[in-house]
Amino acid sequence: MIARTARILCAMLVLFGAPVFADDAAIFKKAESTYKMFCAHCHGPKMVNPGTSSFDLRKWPKDNKEGFATSVLKGKGDMPAWGDILLPEELDLLWHYVKTRAGKEPEPFDSSQAVPPPQKDTPIEQAKAQLKTPGTLTACLAKNGGVMSSRRATGGAGMDYEVAAALAAELDMPLDVRWFESEQEEESTPIREIYALLAYEVCDIVPGFALYETSLSAFYQTRAALPRWDTKPDHLGMEFQVDLEPISVTDPYARMEMGVVYRTADLDRSIEKIADMEGLKIGVEQGTLAGVLTLRQGTEAMALDAVTLNPGPDFLWEMEQGSFDAALVTVGAYDFHKKQNFISTLALDEYRHPLGFNISVAMLGRKKAMRDVFDPAIARMIEDGTLQDLADKSQYTYAKPRQPWVQAHLTMQTIISMR
């Protein structure tokens, strides 16, 4: 448990700390603590070990980063694979540690990674220099993103669209949108598509990126197909695979939560946990997190009497038509239903399930100068109510992000106990 907390903290520091690679001493300190956490117990403190039971890392060739990454991510002989555990940033830190021999030798010169002369530019100038189309911030947004994003004859609408526009204004430039069609259900934009869009530089940023541990590390060094977007060239079909790259994320700007929805406001009762819905006819959205939580955390009587339905936008229409009285659903799904259906009788309780996902803006790891501009802007917009206003305009029930920023892997234990 402590180790897990430490890991999340560590992930947060790496992801959200002020400029992580500020100076060598700071890099080394992070590299050393990452090494201690994951590797030292087998490879020895400062990589010193007798070389009998495990590999002597001081012998690893300094020019073979690729081989290092492959062995570490996929495992080797008696060494377990670290691919599911390490974040891309952590792998880079470990490589730094190994190639400098635990900080004892200077970093070897590697022309492919040669850094340009020190930049004296301001963060905003650096961020501008990283844009794919100079003078324009290009965002990828889902066409079918409910209250979060939707395309309009001119421009767009929705919370994620508004946030992208506000960030473009921060850079003092226009926003250009690539509207993409997610291959899956609305509100569940598959993470791999986002990685592919960024790696192919279809856009500079993807708002609406849910922060959970897997989404930040799982796809490093794999490939994926691109989703469809309006001006997508024909030769980039599903057989075209993009090499995914490490990504970076901003601080979150909102939180995706689950709440209890009643068929009509007069069914309202005092709810502090899911089991308090007992006595109402419950709807369960099959296969969704909200559905699983309802069955796991509700009472037995509730579960026996529940109506189970396929997930998707029809679910709330079924409630409207009287199939059941109450359900736990994502608040965004409720908002979208209300927006499309002016005469809806559905009502949202104030109760929110504690399990939620913070939403941030994703970009390529190598373009993270943008983050240094966006993070302070996001903090300011939360503080001064701008995000609340943008949410109101989008008919989205706003929730501020909550710590921990990154949701850990969901285990059955979390699903049963987090209530």
Residues near ligand HEC, by CB under 6 A: 38-39, 41-43, 54-55, 57, 60, 68, 71-72, 76-80, 82, 94
- In the complex with ligand HEC, which residue's Cβ is closer, 67 or 135? 67
**Closest CB 75 distance from ligand HEC, rounded Å:** 8
Residue with tokens 């949410």: 391
Of residues 78 and 266, the one with the C-beta less far from ligand HEC: 78
Q: Measured between alpha carbons, how far is residue 304 from residues 151, 300, 342 in Å?
A: 41, 6, 33
CB of 297 to ligand HEC, least distance (A): 36
Residue with Cβ nearer ligand HEC (49 or 344): 49
The least CB distance from residue 94 to ligand HEC, in Å, is 5
By beta carbon distance, the residue nearest ligand HEC is 77
The minimum distance between CB 219 and ligand HEC, in angstroms, equals: 19
Q: Which is nearer to ligand HEC, 55 or 405 (CB)?
A: 55
Please state, in angstroms and as integers, the Cα–Cα distance from residue 59 to each residue in 39, 43, 56, 64, 105, following that order: 16, 12, 6, 11, 13
Shortest Cβ 54–ligand HEC spacing (Å): 4
Q: How many CA atoms lie within 13 A of 109 on its CB side?
A: 1
> Which of 83/311 has CB closer to ligand HEC?
83
Q: Which CB, 71 or 126, lies closer to ligand HEC?
A: 71
Residue number, 79 or 303, with CB nearest to ligand HEC:
79
Least distance in angstroms from the C-beta of 6 to ligand HEC: 15
Alpha-carbon distance of 403 to 419, in angstroms, equals 16
Q: Distance (Å, rounded) from C-alpha 98 to C-alpha 44?
A: 12
Torsion of CA 254, 260, 264, 270, to 10 degrees: -120
Distance between CA 298 and CA 306 in Å, rounded? 10
Write down the least CB distance from residue 70 to ligand HEC, Å.
Answer: 7
Cα-flanking dihedrals φ and ψ of residue 273, to 5°? -155, 165
Rounded CA gap, 369 and 402, in Å? Answer: 24
Q: What is the torsional sign of CA 347, 352, 355, 359?
A: positive
Residues in the chain: 419
Cβ pair 318, 274 in contact under 8 A:
no
Beta carbons of 226 and 235 less than 8 angstroms apart: no
328: left (phi over 0), alpha (psi -120 to 50) or beta: beta
Residue closer to ligand HEC, measured from CB, 105 or 314: 105
Sign of CA dihedral 147, 148, 152, 156: positive
In the block, tokens 């969704």 appear at 288
Q: Which C-beta is closer to ligand HEC: that of 84 or that of 384? A: 84
Q: Among residues 38 and 209, whose Cβ is nearest to ligand HEC?
A: 38
* CB of residue 111 to ligand HEC, shortest distance in Å: 23
The least CB distance from residue 9 to ligand HEC, in Å, is 18
Q: How far is the CB of 110 from ligand HEC (least distance, A)?
A: 17
C-alpha distance from residue 404 to each of 13, 313, 359 (Å): 11, 30, 12
Tokens of 200: 């192919």
